[in-house]
């Protein structure tokens, strides 16, 4: 580059829309001569060959099918019902009847077995109840027999207390206290004294050692108790020895 060459000054494009000197708005730059002007809206939009107003809804129009119904609409037609199943063949019917007969036979066998087991259970239950009752009776009898054997061994002591009572030795004193305690213990064990003057003679609990005829009685009546008797429960330990009045002839 020589000194004689002139420098090309830079080109500045002022794109400001307002003139800084006058303050007036500037004219916009014109478009290139080759540009096509924008098409003005015609007021209709072509959709699939159908004219739709430009301001109309943008919902697409569904074309009608050949039957006049809109495509995509649910059809009211119902599928044809399936044909009913054919009737069972003779072979299948015979097979089912055979199975039913087999099931019925098994049911009858089970019912018979159940009835037999129930009868056996009831019989065993009855045997158990009888066994339990028998054992309870035997236990009660054993207790009564044991008590009776002990009391029977002490009957001579009770006889001595009765004799002392008749002689007036048990009115007071230490012996009276001992006699009262001993008789109380026998009462707790269920010991019952037999033989009372004036009661009817009973061969199960009385032993007549003397008979006294009397015109005042019509049956045998205890006149005097010579030796008292005792029983525990229904077991008579010793019959009472008594003198009885008998009707006079």
Domain count, the chain: 3
Which residues of the chain are under the pLDDT cut of 50? 2-4, 30-75, 79-85
Domain enclosing residue 124, as ranges = 92-153
Residues 124 and 99 in one domain: yes
pLDDT tens digits, one per residue of 90-142: 888 888 888 898 999 999 999 999 999 999 999 999 999 999 999 999 998 88
Which residue in 35, 39, 36, 18 sits closest to 27, CA to CA? 18
In a domain, 235, yes or no: yes
Whole-number pLDDT of residue 31: 42
Structure-block tokens of residue 217: 């009685």
In a domain, 111, yes or no: yes
Cβ–Cβ < 8 Å for 44, 54 = yes
In a domain, 238, yes or no: yes
Query: What's the CATH code of the domain at 223?
Result: 2.30.22.10
- Chosen domain end from 153, 175, 202: 153
Q: Which residues contact 199 (CB under 8 A, 6 or more apart)?
A: 221, 222
pTM beyond cutoff 0.95: no
Whole-number pLDDT of residue 123: 93
Which residue in 206, 198, 199, 193 sits closest to 158, CA to CA? 193
In a domain, 103, yes or no: yes
In a domain, 101, yes or no: yes
């Amino acid at each position: 580059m020589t000194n004689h060459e002139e420098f090309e000054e830079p080109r500045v494009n002022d794109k400001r829309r307002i003139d800084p000197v006058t303050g007036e708005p500037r004219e916009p730059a014109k478009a290139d001569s080759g540009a096509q002007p924008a098409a003005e809206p015609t007021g209709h939009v072509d959709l699939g060959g159908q004219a739709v107003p430009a301001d109309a809804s943008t919902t697409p129009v569904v074309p009608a099918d050949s039957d006049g119904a809109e495509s995509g609409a649910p059809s009211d037609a119902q599928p044809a019902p399936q044909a009913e199943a054919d009737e069972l063949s003779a072979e299948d019917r015979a097979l089912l009847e055979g199975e039913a007969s087999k099931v019925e036979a098994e049911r009858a066998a089970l019912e018979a077995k159940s009835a037999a087991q129930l009868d056996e259970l009831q019989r065993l239950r009855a045997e158990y109840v009888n066994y339990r009752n028998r054992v309870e009776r035997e236990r009660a009898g054993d207790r009564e027999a044991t008590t009776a054997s002990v009391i029977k061994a002490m009957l001579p002591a009770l006889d001595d207390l009765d004799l002392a009572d008749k002689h007036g030795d048990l009115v007071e004193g230490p012996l009276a206290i001992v006699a009262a305690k001993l008789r109380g213990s026998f009462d707790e064990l269920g010991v019952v004294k037999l033989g009372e003057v004036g009661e009817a003679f009973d061969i199960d609990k009385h032993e007549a050692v003397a008979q006294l005829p009397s015109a005042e009685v019509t049956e045998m009546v205890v006149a005097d108790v010579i030796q008292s008797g005792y029983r525990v429960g229904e077991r008579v330990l010793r019959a009472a020895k008594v003198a009885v009045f008998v009707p006079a002839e």
